[in-house]
Amino acid sequence: MKKITITTTSFGNYDGSLLGGCQEKGLEVVLNPHGRKVKSEELIDLAKDSIGLIAGTEDITKELLLKLPDLRVISRCGVGTDNIDLEAAKNLDIKIFNTPGAPTLAVAELTVGLILNLLRKVSLMHRELRNSQWHKRMGNLLYGKKVGLKGFGRVGKKVAELLKPFGCEIAYSDPFVEDELSGLRRLCLEDLLAWVDILTIHVSVSEKLIGEREFQLMKKGAWLVNTSRGGVVDEHVLYDYLKNGYLSGAALDVLEDEPYSGPLKELDNIIITPHIGSYAKESRLEMERQAVENLLEGLEIA
């Protein structure tokens, strides 16, 4: 029986028929037993002899691929493929697929939810109330705020669409989007940072984009939300700017090292979630369905 490996932690939890469908195609399915992102040596052990891989966000390097000689297809259950050495995969004749559209609405809705949570300090007061502290903390309206989106692909555009009814001013910065869209301002990153009350990040790279220089450009009292990639924001600098009160607050769904155990979790003016941008049941099911279809297509299994 031909073998495939699935590394995402919740695959099939809400629709077991997808796993059953793979088995009906004559495929042995190996699932991630660790309940977290797998490490390289764990992935090599799990995917040994596998012809297909439905992958999460784990690093898939050239060195790793060379240790999986039977692998023919990698189907990312998610948007980005920056965790995969695409050149090495191409040279090894491994087909790469992803599911770019499926999680868009889920990530966009989470972004808006985090913005509202930050502005009204919902999570902070919830924590205080559970500790028998009754503090009515003053928040802020989303109405009239200047919201800047760094990255204006599928998710960025959907966030802008969802924010419009709130009466926000919206601008974006994206070197790959040339045309200014009706009703939205297109700015370079430096001008965007100086303009925003709220910065949301929607990029597909993991390089440092927001560090000391960028935080200095932002106005005092601004908020930051990142639901895109861990590593984009310098977390050590962010800690300083939240600790000293220069930034009013931040919300991070992605972090450089996950699971996260760093000092940011000690602060009251930050919300940290465990990389759950796509974790809306409807979106997750669609991602998994597309990931399986892509895998079977790549393996040429009807």
For 70-81, the pLDDT digits (tens) are 999 999 998 889
What is the rounded CA–CA span in Å between residue 248 and residue 152? Answer: 24
pLDDT score at 65? 97
Q: Specify whether 288 is catalytic.
A: no
Q: Select the more confidently predicted residue: 251 or 184.
A: 251
Please state the rounded mean pLDDT for residues 197-221.
95
pLDDT score at 266? 96
**Contact between 96 and 76 (Cβ < 8 Å):** yes
**Contact between 198 and 115 (Cβ < 8 Å):** yes
pLDDT score at 134? 97
Q: Specify whether 213 is catalytic.
A: no
pLDDT score at 231? 92
What is the rounded CA–CA span in Å between residue 251 and residue 272? Answer: 6
Confidence of residue 1 (pLDDT cuts 50, 70, 90): confident
CATH placement of domain 104-272 = 3.40.50.720
CATH superfamily for 2-102+280-299 is NAD(P)-binding Rossmann-like Domain (3.40.50.720)
Find the catalytic residue in 229, 235, 286, 288: 229
Please state the rounded mean pLDDT for residues 153-162.
95
Domain ranges for the chain: 2-102+280-299, 104-272
pLDDT score at 79? 86
Q: Specify whether 42 is catalytic.
A: no
pLDDT score at 205? 84
pTM confidence score: 0.88
Confidence of residue 239 (pLDDT cuts 50, 70, 90): very high
Find the catalytic residue in 275, 284, 286, 288: 275
Residue 182: pLDDT over 80:
no
Residue 158 in tokens = 């959907």
**Contact between 65 and 94 (Cβ < 8 Å):** yes
Find the catalytic residue in 28, 161, 258, 282: 258
What is the rounded CA–CA span in Å between residue 149 and residue 127? Answer: 29
